[in-house]
Structure 1
Amino acid sequence: MLHGIKTNILTAGTRAIAALASGVIGLIVTADDADAAAFPLDTPVLVTDLRAALAKAGTSGTMKPSLEAIYDQTSPILIVVRVAEDDLDQDTAVIGDAGTYTGLYALLAAESVCGVRPRVLGAPGLDTQTVTTALVTVAQKLRGMIYAAGIGDTIADVVLYRANFSARELMLIWPNWSNGFAGDAVARALGLRARIDEETGWHKSISNVAVNGVTGISQSLFFDIQDETTDVSTLNDAEVTALVRSPAGGFIYWGNRTCSDEPLFAFEPAVRTSQILQDEIAQGLVWASDKPLTKFLIKDVLETINARIRSLVVQGRLIGGKAWFDPALNADADLAAGKLVIDYEFTPAAPLEGLTLNQRITDKYYADLAAELAA
């Protein structure tokens, strides 16, 4: 028996919820002459040094131009999956097999293989309708966002193409940058998204941010920031992000909309806010699993969530939110069985998509002029 003082170290109380790496790119590419040891087929490869990866990317296929377009924007963490070039059935090679995690399904194995989860997804130059449809399934499982090409030669074609999708995880982009390969607009969107996440945050859309390395647009579009009847407005109305020359100079993406069939997730930032908040809170509460289910634990869980929400509100990433315990959803029998339900709500920061300025012409300031002249 101890004759003295024993100290027990208690771990009750709230925990800080850590921020996630939200800008990790998941990139599907082809490159038959790439370094096969560095980029084996159908395998998720972690890239932390983009310049070093470019040296091993070869010159064929989509890998090198995709990496170059991304590098023009930033040097992020990437998960690169190289798939075989197949002139007869490229879509099948890109999509791969869900059961064996080949093709784009290799992104699902990235976290277990590489230790990070890709959340900004794309297959520049390879994103046919079939490929994009399959990529939506992967994005939903990863809680990631896809940037893909709108397919069509005309605005009418692209608007019709947009009608094929209803996923909140998808943003379509049209046309292409004139100085790049077929997937240049998508690849640069991936890089820009990663850059914005790093510099500003996941709550800011890719719209109206200068794109590096661009000299022109592949198709002429009429754009006027004060006109609702332009080509760009037509595309935006159809939830397609357009490429434009900025009124402030340079080139930008113009559009905030996803392909969601749910109006609450119409904006890209709303989707990404939901995804990031979901994963941050879930991962931030791992410590609570298997602890004794007492009122103290419930209070700690609630305060952990609410503390994170308050922090995001202060940062300007959320407008507001809160978590609470609803007795109606927590029957005595469920609590006794170790089951707890916590509700939380949030309001994402919507992008300022429409600004109305009321201009009035008046002669009232002549009164001031007369008074000044008389002085």
Structure 2
Amino acid sequence: MAEYTTPGVYIAETGGPPPPIAALDAAVAGFVGIAEPVPGAVPPAHGITAAAEFGRYWSTAPVLADGTANVLWAAVRGFYANGGDRLHVAAVPPDGDPAAPVAGLADTDAALIAAPDVQALRPAAAGATMEALVALAAVPLSNRMALLDAPAGLSIAALRDWRRRFDTPAAALYWPWLRTTGGTMLPPSAIVAGAIARTDSERGVWKAPANIALMDVTAASVVTTREQELLNPVGINAIRTFTGKGPLVWGARTLSSDPDWKYIPVRRFAAMLAASITRGLAWVVFEPNGPVLWARVREAADTFLTDLWRQGALAGDRPDAAFFVRCDTTTMTAADIANGRLVIRIGHAPLRPAEFIITHLALATAT
């Protein structure tokens, strides 16, 4: 603080730079499922950060009280074996409705949401649970992606038919089911969620979570190249096993028919961007809506996007080729300003994965 020695009137500038915008963590997972709670144990609001913590709040016995397998516990172990970090668990007892706890994830920061045991334990209720996950992920500015599971044992034709009930960029579907080293049959959502979290940590949310190995599991069935030719165009991501390699995630598509939202990293990055900027500009509410505020908003968003560009998250060899930020009289009318509406227009150039690698070969003849 300045030291004042002479009586008088002084003016102290208090503006300063706008608060920085922080990127939300898109790798936080949220599982709904069937579990037996430990009496008196209350799960922490921030979720759990290791598989061992699951046992503090829910039973890790291999069989539940109703005689069914404890699939959720196997899914949690698989999530952490594949690189998962923080996880929210919303569970119901064996006699409960597995779709009911989906709404509980809305109050968490879970961004990868799944129901990894429902198809195995409550197939009759699985459809409603998957639809509830999609509805939650599709909420505007939610920063969520639903990882769906189809029923086990479907033919390729039946799998394609099951997939037709969804058309959304906020969900992804993987196939086939997996077998853990402990022998449990699991739909792939929990395992893939861990692998996505690992990719986010190592590379960033803009990297396609594909061509990555899955740990401690084997594929329950083999997806051939011919079968993937039928799955990939409809957005079903195959898990392939190649000679000398374990199971690899070999697809990165959403369940959207909109070509702009075909790829998982494009959707996840855009959702993270929108949610982060919205939360990061919360300080703007009730500020005087004029040029000084608009300049501060532009500065905050520009700084955030420039940092992402420097990390390699955006296409374009210069910031002005990678994004734009507008907040001025070109984005707001006089009526907007009079009615307290501040309108920001942000555009960004997303990175799309190199899905098809084409090499042109030519034979040079000796002269």
Please report the TM-score for the alignment, with normalisation by the length of structure 1: 0.83
Distance 1:311 1:57 in 2: 44
Query: What is the CA-CA distance between 1:294 and the residue it aligns to?
Result: 2.2
Distance 2:107 2:165 in 1: 28
Q: Secondary structure at the match of 2:324?
A: strand
Of 240, 246, 258, the residue aligned with 1:250 is: 246
| 2:184 corresponds to | 181
Counterpart check, 1:37 vs 2:40: yes
CA offsets, 1:244-303, max 9 Å, x none? 124672221111111113221111011101110001111111222222222121011112
For the Cα contact (< 8 Å) 1:171–1:240, is it kept in 2? yes
Distance 1:154 1:44 in 2: 41
Aligned length: 338
Of 195, 203, 206, the residue aligned with 2:198 is: 195
Q: Which moved more, 1:137-146 or 1:329-338?
A: 329-338
Distance 1:173 1:49 in 2: 24
Query: What is the CA-CA distance between 1:170 and the residue it aligns to?
Result: 0.9
% same residue: 24
Query: What is the CA-CA distance between 1:233 and the residue it aligns to?
Result: 2.4
| 1:227 corresponds to | none
| 1:264 corresponds to | 260
CA offsets, 1:213-251, max 9 Å, x none? 12x32112223xxxxxx2122211221011112467222
Paired residue type of 1:291: E
Paired residue type of 1:118: A
CA offsets, 1:57-114, max 9 Å, x none? 322332210111012112411111111213xxx6xx1112xxxxxx21111123xxxx
| 2:3 corresponds to | none
For the Cα contact (< 8 Å) 1:48–1:76, is it kept in 2? yes
What RMSD over aligned residues (CA atoms) do the two structures have, in Å? 2.3
Distance 1:307 1:146 in 2: 30
Distance 1:340 1:84 in 2: 46
CA offsets, 1:102-140, max 9 Å, x none? x21111123xxxxxx100000002152221111111112
For the Cα contact (< 8 Å) 1:39–1:82, is it kept in 2? no
| 1:50 corresponds to | 51
Query: What is the CA-CA distance between 1:12 and the residue it aligns to?
Result: 3.9
| 2:164 corresponds to | 163
Of 87, 90, 96, the residue aligned with 1:78 is: 87
CA offsets, 1:180-200, max 9 Å, x none? 534342110111111112221
Q: 1:95 to 1:357 in 2, by over 3 A?
A: same
5+ residue gaps, structure 1, are 97-102, 111-116, 224-229, 368-375
Please report the TM-score for the alignment, with normalisation by the length of structure 2: 0.85
Distance 1:324 1:248 in 2: 51
Paired residue type of 1:163: R
Paired residue type of 2:199: I
| 1:148 corresponds to | 148
| 2:24 corresponds to | 20
